[in-house]
Structure 1
Amino acid sequence: MTMAGRGWGGEWSGEWGGGWGREGRRRRMFDSGELRLVLLKLIADQPRHGYDLIRAIEEMTHGTYAPSPGVVYPTLTMLQDMGLIEEAGSGGARKAFAATADGLAHLAERADEVERLMARLTEIGDDRRRTGGGPVGRAVANLLAALWNRVGKQRVDEKRLHDIAAILDEAAQKIERL
């Protein structure tokens, strides 16, 4: 695991590595029932299978968040047990789902909440795109990993620490001048 998203002295909002709070614990993307609504909305938009749902959310957030299969597939089973989705005849190896009339009614009853959830996912993606997302996040993760490997795992003398700080200061100044 890289150090992306972890702060060195408190919390880093983690636009690039996302989701880390104080004490290195991951913040939850969704509260109880919210992922269920997001999945139902995506399925109502067009029939989808589990992997497609994971990728759709990942695309919406520009790679910041992708729910795990261990969360998505049980949620799909729950939605199916609740009568909100049903298997759609896809004929493929993956089982696609479509929203039922009850599922569409459920979404209509919670339209404001669904709209807020979808807007939140889109905003996360917009934030990531605006901040450079992939390349900047990768570079920050590499920097933090290098620092962790050099400073966190080895005994480093005072001069070496000052050399590292000078490099970091120089990089910050160059970025500010861009």
Structure 2
Amino acid sequence: MGGHHMGPRGGSRRWGPFEVRWEVSDEGRGGRGRGRGRMFDGGELRLVLLKLIADQPRHGYDLIREIEELTGGAYAPSPGVVYPTITLLSDMGLIEEQVAEGAKKLFAVTEAGAAHLAENQEQVDALFARLAEVGAQRERTDVAPVRRAMHNLRSVLQHRLMREDIEGDAQHEIAALLDEVAQKIERLK
């Protein structure tokens, strides 16, 4: 499967010839980060969208949102990639527009689309496993709670150490507490 690199703001992972990059934005502190780079080639994205449409009729924005949800917010394909792919799937006869209320076009899978999915089931399963792995990786590397706690600690320390009435004993006690916490973190498994 390949190596993995995680920096303070994001990471990347190789799957065969493809490299996926993602970034934990400032919004990631409780919001949603956005994927960077391409996760799929055109043929792979066609299969992913076709499978999602086969699961239930969907419109373009719903497809983007569903992929983002599957990856825990780590990756969302751009509308500039999704909508042309939907058009291509329709031109190929794999999906068709359904009558829908409102301005959004709702697409459903055709018999030909269902057959195409069945022929490519192994690849479809691998693609959805890839989406799940990106989501699991995001979950493992979401450091927002740690960042919040570090910010809180820094604020408390600055406030306490700037006070003129803090004495040597209190300074040594603070240092001992920090050393103790550092040792406990080091021993975590």
- What TM-score range do you get, normalising by the shorter chain? 0.5 to 0.7
Gaps of 5+ in 1: 1-10, 144-169
Give the TM-score, by structure 1 length.
Answer: 0.64
How far residue 177 of structure 1 moved from its aligned partner, in angstroms, is 5.1
Q: 1: distance between equivalents of 2:134 and 2:64?
A: 15
Percentage identity across paired residues of the two chains: 61
Instruction: Report if the CA contact (8 A) 1:38-1:117 is conserved.
Output: yes
Instruction: Report if the CA contact (8 A) 2:5-2:12 is conserved.
Output: no
Closer, same or farther in 2 for the Cα pair 1:15/1:31, shift >3 Å? farther
Higher relative contact order (CA 8 A, sep 6+): 1
Gaps of 5+ in 2: 22-35, 152-178
Give the TM-score, by structure 2 length.
Answer: 0.61
Closer, same or farther in 2 for the Cα pair 1:173/1:111, shift >3 Å? same
- Equivalent in the alignment of 1:133: 142
- Equivalent in the alignment of 2:28: none
Residue 56 of structure 2 corresponds to residue 50 of structure 1: no
Q: 2: distance between equivalents of 1:14 and 1:123?
A: 18
How far residue 127 of structure 1 moved from its aligned partner, in angstroms, is 2.1
Closer, same or farther in 2 for the Cα pair 1:20/1:111, shift >3 Å? closer
Larger strand share, 1 or 2: 2
Instruction: Give the alignment's Cα RMSD to 1 decimal.
Output: 3.4
Residue 26 of structure 2 corresponds to residue 17 of structure 1: no
Q: 2: distance between equivalents of 1:86 and 1:40?
A: 11
Picking from 61, 66, 72, the partner of 2:71 is 61
- Equivalent in the alignment of 1:82: 92
- AA in 1 matched with 2:5: W
* Greater Rg over alpha carbons, structure: 2
Q: Secondary structure at the match of 2:137?
A: helix
Number of residue pairs the alignment of both structures matches? 138
